[in-house]
Chains A and B, each alone.
Chain A
């Protein structure tokens, strides 16, 4: 029993040491190579890269926790021989390994949540809600600013783009009304005037489908 406990605490010490060393050696390095593994779309994007920068801190913090856990475990084992991991039983090794793996990932995940939150709070402490949204959306937010500055809240805007960004504009710029023409490939100049008049369109917004992001916001001479 003592041997088993000693082995457990030694494992925690060993894992803790490795994690701290890994965190130390990775700090300051470019971790973009991890993006295809952990990212949704498989390509690096600014929010993902910001999160990846936290990986060394995560490893170091988890390593320190392992070392502390081992120290507390050793201390308690000496004080009370009944203390220690008490979920053992006649369970197969596979099950015990699974639970251990689950617990390890859980600790990493909770640590990452806490570190990421603390980091974000630190960075965005003095920002307003709009500035935080702008920071998160990056360059795309420029278009929100420009349309907001140029058009009144009552504006009725014809939008032509295939970018999902259009739906964010729709939300951010509400109560401005956005319309699209059913044939989305048709250039704005070819859209029938009668349709535009029926919809009371007074602005047109064209956003490039490809990179780089370009847009043209134009007032329309209404004839309704």
Chain B
């Protein structure tokens, strides 16, 4: 019961924060906000806990409760004030609520829709059952994330030798702390460090990601195809059955995939509507993407870069009208100032990629390129047991009309994914590790970060194709009737 209350608390706080940030004129439905609320709630709580720890306050039960109460109370109060204001202005402000999603809930569902819902539900049940039925067994889940969570929970802070002493054994000391702080929060409020309980957060992220992808694809494809796409996405083996990175494994890659998908889709909406409410959510998801894993920095960079390029070249915005992008990115990073300050105190035990990425190193490592490219091809096309036919689908959609794919209004999703792969390629060129040992175990998890973006791009392009098809069919019918 207590565990359920903790998860409900994270959900509610996440929902309220999203609701407040989205504002009155948001095009997001409450149910869409609910979909994203667990991820947002985890992020907000972990940031709050980190601020407490940064200022030297112990993360004991009392302080965690005070933080939870103040976050809940504060967000409820703000939400209430905004709702009252909204009520007062309802006559004058026309809220653009989305009735044109093509997701009519009133028409009866077809067999295909029921089958898609059944597959999605079955995947969720499998992932939850898998998570709660066994303790943490995957390597990173134990050695990296749960170890940090244990230190945060039992030592109640971040200024201890487990983090700060370079000779104390600690895997990936400098990794951001969203995941372990959320685990410590769950442990603290649920009454103890139980691996099976703290593991439940990962299936929750999985459900959030499914709902996010489902709503976004439904928006473009309509209810029937949106549901079918959701079923296909939910059943991606990399999420459901992959032991070292899947939704039940306890790795941080799925939460990172969720945050970067939320970030990219909000930016896409901003490109399409220019709405400020999207930018507020973008700032939040920028912070949370950066605070989840080191790769978040690369992802944030490529997503913002792709958005700026698309705004300039596809949406034909002048450079002067692009100022919200850097200011939002900066705003998102500002939330993390304490983390960046703290990170400077952490010992550098592992390799520093930023320092390794020099022209000289890239040229030296150039002979690794064939192996790296071969591994990428193998990952996308020869691993249906992880990615189904995602790679083939992307190639199919691209080859259908390369020119329109490049200039597509959904291009930021494709370009973010491709730029990320280029960046990964560059890192693999300079990394001082044996690639034959590293790539087979790391690449699948890295691809997981951009898989939802690639999937959404495929869906959106197919939706476009469907609309064109309908348009041509309509023209043909008209001609025949003449």
Interface: B430 (CB within 8 A): no
CA distance A98 to B444 in the complex (A): 21
- Flag if A168 contacts B143 (CB, 8 Å): yes
* Complex contact B389–A101 (CB within 8 A): yes
B111 at the interface (CB under 8 A from A): yes
In Å, the complex CA distance between A73 and B471 comes to: 32
Q: Which of B125-160 contact A (CB under 8 A)?
A: 126-127, 129-130, 133-137, 139, 142-144, 146-147, 150-151, 154
Binding stretch for chain B, among A3-11, A22-30, A132-140, A208-216: A132-140
**Residue from B143, B235, B244 in contact with A109 in the complex, judged by beta carbons closer than 8 Å:** B235
Q: Which of B225, B231, B241 contacts A112 (CB 8 A)?
A: B241
Contacts of A102 in B (CB 8 A): 232, 388-389, 393
Which positions 76-96 of chain A face chain B at CB distance < 8 Å?
83, 85-87, 89-92, 94-95
Is A120 interfacial (CB-CB < 8 Å)?
Answer: yes
Question: What 3 A-B pairs come out closest when comparing CB atoms?
Answer: A167-B143, A106-B235, A178-B169
Closest B residue to A131 using CB positions:
B135
Task: Tell me whether A132 and B123 are in contact (CB under 8 A).
Answer: no
Whether, in the assembled complex, A192 has its beta carbon less than 8 Å from a beta carbon of chain B, the answer is no
Additional 17 contacts, C-beta under 8 A, given A98-B392, A113-B127:
A83-B111, A89-B466, A94-B396, A101-B389, A106-B235, A109-B237, A109-B385, A110-B123, A113-B123, A113-B237, A113-B240, A129-B195, A133-B135, A168-B143, A170-B171, A171-B147, A199-B167
Q: Given A105-B389, A133-B135, A172-B142, A85–B119 Cβ distance below 8 Å?
A: no
Structural contact, B119 and A106, CB atoms closer than 8 A: yes
Asked if residues A120 and B133 are in contact (CB atoms below 8 Å), the reply is yes
* Residues of chain A contacted by B409 (CB below 8 angstroms): none
CA distance A113 to B130 in the complex (A): 9
Contact A136:B169 (CB < 8 A) given known A95-B396, A105-B384: no
The reply to whether the CB of A204 lies closer than 8 angstroms to some CB of chain B is: no
B126 touching A90, Cβ below 8 Å: no
A126 sits at the interface (CB 8 A): no
The chain A residue with its CB closest to the CB of B245 is A40
Distance between Cα atoms of A137 and B243 in the complex (Å): 13
Q: Are A182 and B167 in contact (CB under 8 A)?
A: yes
> In the assembled complex, which residues on chain A have CB atoms less than 8 Å from the CB atom of B441?
40-41
Contacts of A114 in B (CB 8 A): 122, 126
16 pairs, A vs B, C-beta closer than 8 Å: A38-B385, A41-B441, A87-B228, A101-B389, A105-B384, A105-B388, A109-B236, A109-B388, A113-B126, A117-B133, A120-B133, A129-B134, A170-B169, A170-B171, A171-B147, A178-B169
* Residue B273 lies at the interface, judged by CB distance under 8 Å to chain A: no
Q: Which of B150, B168, B241 contacts A178 (CB 8 A)?
A: B168
Distance between B339 CB and nearest chain A CB, rounded to angstroms: 23
Report whether B139 and A168 are in contact in the complex, using a CB–CB cutoff of 8 Å: yes
B80 to chain A, nearest CB (A): 43
Most chain A CB neighbours (cut-off 10 Å) among B110, B169, B240: B169
Answer whether residue B196 sits at the interface, using C-beta atoms and an 8 A cutoff. Answer: yes
**A110 to B9 alpha-carbon distance, docked (Å):** 31
What mask results when residues 203 to 243 of chain B are scored 1 for a CB within 8 Å of chain A, else 0? 00000000000000000000011001001100111001101
A142 is an interface residue with CB less than 8 A from chain B:
no
* Given A167-B147, A172-B142, residue A87 in contact with residue B112 (CB < 8 A): yes
A177 on the B face (CB < 8 A): yes
Output the nearest chain B residue to A43 by Cβ-Cβ distance.
Answer: B440
User: Which residues of B pack against A, CB within 8 Å?
Assistant: 110-112, 119, 122-123, 126-127, 129-130, 133-137, 139, 142-144, 146-147, 150-151, 154, 161-162, 166-171, 195-196, 224-225, 228, 231-232, 235-237, 240-241, 243-244, 384-385, 388-389, 392-393, 396, 400, 440-441, 444, 462, 466, 469, 473
Q: Is the Cβ of B232 less than 8 Å from the Cβ of A167?
A: no
**Residues on A with beta carbons closer than 8 Å to the beta carbon of B473:** 90
Task: State whether A117 touches B130 (Cβ < 8 A).
Answer: yes
Which residues 16-45 of A have a CB within 8 angstroms of B? 38, 40-42
Contact A105:B237 (CB < 8 A) given known A98-B396, A171-B150? yes
- Given A109-B235, A167-B143, A179–B388 Cβ distance below 8 Å? no
B227 smallest CB distance to A (angstroms): 11
Point out the residues of chain B lying under 8 angstroms from A103, CB to CB.
Answer: 232
Q: Do B469 and A90 touch (CB < 8 A)?
A: yes
Which B residue's beta carbon lies closest to that of A38?
Answer: B385
Contacts of A109 in B (CB 8 A): 235-237, 240-241, 385, 388
A67 contacts the other chain (Cβ, under 8 Å)? no
- A210 to B232 CA separation, bound complex (whole angstroms): 43
Question: How far apart are the CA atoms of A86 and B393 in the complex, in Å?
Answer: 21
Could you tell me if B135 and A129 are in contact, using CB atoms closer than 8 angstroms? Answer: yes
Instruction: Tell me whether A151 is interfacial, beta carbon within 8 Å.
Output: no
User: Nearest CB to that of B122 among chain A residues?
Assistant: A110
User: Chain B's nearest CB lies how many Å from the CB of A82?
Assistant: 10
Bound Cα distance A174, B166 (Å): 18
Tell me, yes or no, whether A224 is within 8 Å of chain B by CB. Answer: no
Q: Is the CB of A42 within 8 A of B440?
A: yes
Nearest B residue (CB) for A133: B135
Judged by a CB distance under 8 angstroms, whether A62 is at the interface is no
Return chain B residues, CB-CB under 8 Å to A87.
112, 224-225, 228
With contacts A102-B232, A105-B389, A114-B122 known, is A124 near B168, CB below 8 A? no
Q: Is the CB of A40 within 8 A of B444?
A: yes
A13 within 8 A of B: no
Q: Are A121 and B389 in contact (CB under 8 A)?
A: no
Interface centre among A106, A164, A174 (most CB of B within 10 A): A106
> With the chains together, A74 CA to B122 CA distance in Å?
25
**With an 8 A cutoff between CB atoms, is A159 at the interface?**
yes
Given contacts A114-B126, A117-B129, whether A171 and B142 have CB atoms under 8 Å apart is yes
In the complex, which residues 141-175 of chain A have their Cβ closer than 8 Å to any Cβ of chain B? 159, 164, 166-168, 170-172, 174-175
Q: Is A57 an interface residue (CB 8 A)?
A: no
Complex-state Cα separation, A106 to B127, whole angstroms: 15
The docked-state distance in angstroms from the alpha carbon of A117 to that of B112 is 26
Q: Give chain A residues whose Cβ lies under 8 Å from the Cβ of B462.
A: 95
Complex contact B137–A98 (CB within 8 A)? no
- Bound complex: CA A121 to CA B129 (Å): 10
B143 touches A170 (CB 8 A): yes
Give the contacting residue for A168; candidates B142, B241, B385, B444; CB below 8 A.
B142
Kindly state whether residue A47 has any CB partner on chain B within 8 Å.
yes
